[in-house]
Structure 1
Amino acid sequence: MRESILAILSKLEDDYEVRILYACEAGSRSYGVENEKSDYDIRFIYIAPLRRYLSIIPVDDTISYKQGEWDIQGWDIQKALRLALKSNPSLYEWAHSPVFYMKDEELTDKLRTLAQKEFSKRTLVAHYTNMAKRNLRAFEEKGAPSSLYQGLRASLMAENLSMDGVAATILMTELIAESIHFSHHDLKNVLDLKNKATNQSFNGLLGKIRACIEQAQQQETRLPHTKPDINGIQELFFRKLGI
């Protein structure tokens, strides 16, 4: 399968005349909860020829490819680095993905350092608590299994980010292992529901999610509201362009 993925990425490079610097999984496969029916949610960062960045004509900064089991999307390095300055949650997850297909060492190391040391934990926790609340409401109103799954995942991310001395991760089993609110049994039940293997009540889990959200929100104001150093990011951009 890896060969097929690399072939698609190579074709995208040729079709769009870009060079991919980093490509990783960003869905269930990066969270360690995939099954045999899971799609491949691949995300990448690419760089274009220098002349494109000097053009007076606006150019697209996103590449998308969706077909069958493939859901692939890429961001131009300029877009990615601008979003890094805002502690973008998607980039945070890309940086911590345990499954990658292509990587430029310098960009990868910088992205992971930014995510771990310079991204605003306050911004990230606010994002994940809001995500958890939205999905909790959606599950209560419509009962969609994916909403409960996303609500649990967002709660675990918010909890992980708001705890001191806990390693950053996006793997669900590792998030559960560090959690004070949830258990592996909770994760199994939610995945069973997502895979249509159970019809049990989840009232207890909904209460845990509410408690986790409340605690994360209480911790939010004490978390550092840092901002990545724009000069270091700018220099990285220039080096990748050969300037």
Structure 2
Amino acid sequence: MKETILSFLKKLEKEHEVTILYACEAGSRAYGVETEKSDYDIRFIYISSLRRYLSMNPVKDTIDYKQGEWDIQGWDIQKALRLAQKSNPSLYEWTLSPIVYMQEEHLTDMLYNISQKEFSKRTLLAHYVNMTKRNLSAFEEKGHYSYLYQAFRSSLMTENLTRDGAPATILLQELIAGSTRFSEDDLKHVLELKYGEADDSFSLLLGKITACIAEAQKQESRLPHTKPDINEIQEWFYCQFGI
């Protein structure tokens, strides 16, 4: 499958006249909980020619492709670097993906270092807290267990962000291993609920998620509110065109 994915990414490069600098898996496969029916959620960062950046016409900053099991989205490098300055949670997760299809090593190292050392943990925590709340509300309204699963995952991310010295990860098994609130049984249960393989007993899990969010909100003010240095980002971009 990797060769098929690489071949398709090369096709996208030709069609859109871009160079892909980084491509990774997102979603359930990146979280380590995929099934045989799981989609391939591929995310990538690309760069265009200098001529296109200097054009009087606006540069399209995304590439999207969805068909069947493929859910593919790419960001132009300028879009990605601007979002890096804002500690974007999606970019944060891309840098932590355990499944990487393509990479320009210097960019990969720079983005990873920025996401780990300079992204605002306070901004990231606020995102995952709000994500949990939204999914809990959606679960309460619609009753779909996919929302409970998403609330569970974002709760684990909040717990990871508030633990001093915790290694950053998006793999659910690793997040569970470092958790003081959730267990392997909780992970198994929420996945069984999501895929319709368990009964509807979820009150204990719901209580743990609610307690996790309440604790995370107490911790928010103590987390650093940092911002990536624009100079390093800008210099890297200039170097791509020999400037």
Aligned twin of 1:219: 219
Aligned twin of 2:194: 194
Q: What is the CA deviation profile of residues 39-82 of structure 1, one whole-angstrom value per residue up to 9, with x for unaligned ones?
A: 00000000000011111111210001111100000000000000
Q: Which runs of 5+ in 1 are unaligned?
A: none
Q: Does 1:9 align with 2:17?
A: no
User: Distance between the aligned counterparts of 1:33 and 1:57, measured in 2?
Assistant: 42
User: Distance between the aligned counterparts of 1:236 and 1:144, measured in 2?
Assistant: 44
User: Distance between the aligned counterparts of 2:33 and 2:112, measured in 1?
Assistant: 22
After superposition, residues 32-51 of structure 1 pair within 5 angstroms as 32-51=32-51
Aligned twin of 2:90: 90
After superposition, residues 26-105 of structure 1 pair within 5 angstroms as 26-105=26-105
User: Distance between the aligned counterparts of 1:204 and 1:152, measured in 2?
Assistant: 12
State the 1:113 CA deviation. Answer: 0.2
State the 1:242 CA deviation. Answer: 2.8
User: Distance between the aligned counterparts of 2:78 and 2:5, measured in 1?
Assistant: 24
Amino acid at match of 2:189: N
After superposition, residues 162-177 of structure 1 pair within 5 angstroms as 162-177=162-177
Amino acid at match of 2:171: L
Aligned twin of 1:183: 183
Q: What is the CA deviation profile of residues 213-239 of structure 1, one whole-angstrom value per residue up to 9, with x for unaligned ones?
A: 011111010000000000011011111
Q: What is the CA deviation profile of residues 16-52 of structure 1, one whole-angstrom value per residue up to 9, with x for unaligned ones?
A: 0000000000110000000100000000000000011
- Name the TM-score, length of structure 1 as normaliser: 0.99
Q: What is the CA deviation profile of residues 154-194 of structure 1, one whole-angstrom value per residue up to 9, with x for unaligned ones?
A: 00001101110110000000001111111110000111111
Aligned twin of 1:121: 121
User: Distance between the aligned counterparts of 1:7 and 1:68, measured in 2?
Assistant: 17
User: Distance between the aligned counterparts of 1:236 and 1:146, measured in 2?
Assistant: 40
Q: Aligned pair count?
A: 243
User: Distance between the aligned counterparts of 1:143 and 1:200, measured in 2?
Assistant: 10
User: Distance between the aligned counterparts of 2:23 and 2:116, measured in 1?
Assistant: 19
Structure 1 runs (4+) deviating above 4 angstroms are none
User: Distance between the aligned counterparts of 1:47 and 1:242, measured in 2?
Assistant: 14
User: Distance between the aligned counterparts of 2:119 and 2:140, measured in 1?
Assistant: 32
User: Distance between the aligned counterparts of 1:206 and 1:37, measured in 2?
Assistant: 26
User: Distance between the aligned counterparts of 2:241 and 2:198, measured in 1?
Assistant: 52
User: Distance between the aligned counterparts of 1:134 and 1:199, measured in 2?
Assistant: 23
Amino acid at match of 1:77: I
- Name the TM-score, length of structure 2 as normaliser: 0.99
Aligned-residue CA RMSD (Å): 0.7
State the 1:241 CA deviation. Answer: 2.8
User: Distance between the aligned counterparts of 2:152 and 2:37, measured in 1?
Assistant: 21
User: Distance between the aligned counterparts of 1:242 and 1:204, measured in 2?
Assistant: 58
User: Distance between the aligned counterparts of 2:174 and 2:42, measured in 1?
Assistant: 21
